[in-house]
Copies of this chain bind each other. A is one copy, B any other.
Amino acid sequence: MADRTWQVYLSGEIHSDWRERIAAGVREAGLPVEFSAPVTDHAASDDAGAGTLGEQAEPFWRDHLGAGVNAIRTQTLIRAADIVVVRFGDKYRQWNAAFDAGYAAALGTPYVTLHDAEFDHALKEVDRAAQATARTAEQVVAVLRYAIRGELP
């Protein structure tokens, strides 16, 4: 069988170590995965536009400028992904994570959501269009390991 490298995009929350935990689990399992992600340095992400193209007087346009620059990265990487993992944490509203899920759904790219049960009702539409909903980073690793190697924990 083929020695395919799987492209996995890790969308959403940037304030906990879930990406590192998934990457560590994948490394430990020896899976052929290349990860990509949005810029996860919150301050840098907020300054993506003003820091590259110049400061803006209006906060709305400052954010607009930054979101455009971030989108160059995120849309390119989501389009190149085989699988998207979308994480919803307990802080912030994370509408961009849900936006990425809708974007992946329309492209026909399978995605996995990762969140606590307390958000199940609010995320029901996003979870329904997903191929799986995980509670922990370890479960995401188990899903990737099964999808790639057919092995169960």
Binding site for B on A (CB under 8 A): 1-4, 6-7, 34-37, 39-41, 44-45, 47-49, 51-54, 56-61, 63-77, 79-80, 82-83, 88, 92-108, 110, 112, 117, 119-135, 139, 142-143, 145-148, 150-153
A97 to B83 Cα, complex, angstroms: 22
Residues of the B chain whose Cβ atoms lie less than 8 Å from the Cβ of A52: 132, 139, 142-143, 145-146, 152-153
CA distance A112 to B127 in the complex (A): 18
Nearest neighbor of A68 in chain B, beta-carbon distance = B131
How many subunits of this chain does the assembly comprise?
Answer: 8
Majority DSSP secondary structure for residues of A touching B: helix
For residue A58, which residues in chain B have a CB less than 8 angstroms away from its CB?
A: 56-58, 61
